Amino acid sequence: MMYKSFYGYLMGVTLRYVDDRNDAEELVNDSFIKIFKSIGQFNGPKYEDQLQKAFKGWIARISSRTAIDFLRGKKTFLYVDDITEEQQPLIELNAISQLNVQDIMKLLNELPETHKLIFNMYEIEGFSHEEISKILNIPESSCRVYLTRAKNKLRELYKNSLMNSYEPTTIQNIRSV
């Protein structure tokens, strides 16, 4: 029953890290194995009305770490100690839009794998730079640079998606009408 109840939720967590659906399915199943093996370690909250929220957070953390371990084993990380955050230009974008989840996921999936991983860990999962650097075995400064690059790339992708959605009609398109 637990598997059926939380499968979709954990698939969503895993797909934030892994693009390939087959890998994601395998990682969700691996996550459930870890959850079932360590269910005794889950410490529920004091109040019963917070139980589901606490449990979802706990299993999401297991699932995200399972995906991170998978990615870490699959790829080696580059060190970017020689590049400082100040050298990364910030692009300001003041447009406000109602993006839905699919739009956001599409933009995230266009990021390079390392950028996507660190963005997810920091911005979505709430890991600190120190925690990320320990988990991924990279310097903290590299983590900060990857995050800055990911944010800049997302801004650029978002800006481009806005521009493409308001592309002017060409004369050829007008003639065909």
- Measured between alpha carbons, how far is 148 from 128 in angstroms, rounded to an integer? 14
Higher pLDDT, 67 or 75: 67
pLDDT digits (tens, 9 = 90+) for 103-127: 777 888 888 888 888 988 888 888 8
Q: Is the dihedral of CA 155, 161, 162, 163 positive or negative?
A: positive
What is d(CA 71, CA 135) in angstroms, rounded to the nearest whole number? 11
Q: Where are the alpha helices (DSSP H) in 16-139?
A: 21-37, 51-74, 101-109, 113-119, 129-136
Residue pair 132/157 in contact (Cβ under 8 Å)? The answer is no
Q: Taking the complete model, does pTM exceed 0.85, yes or no?
A: no
35 pLDDT higher than 70 = yes
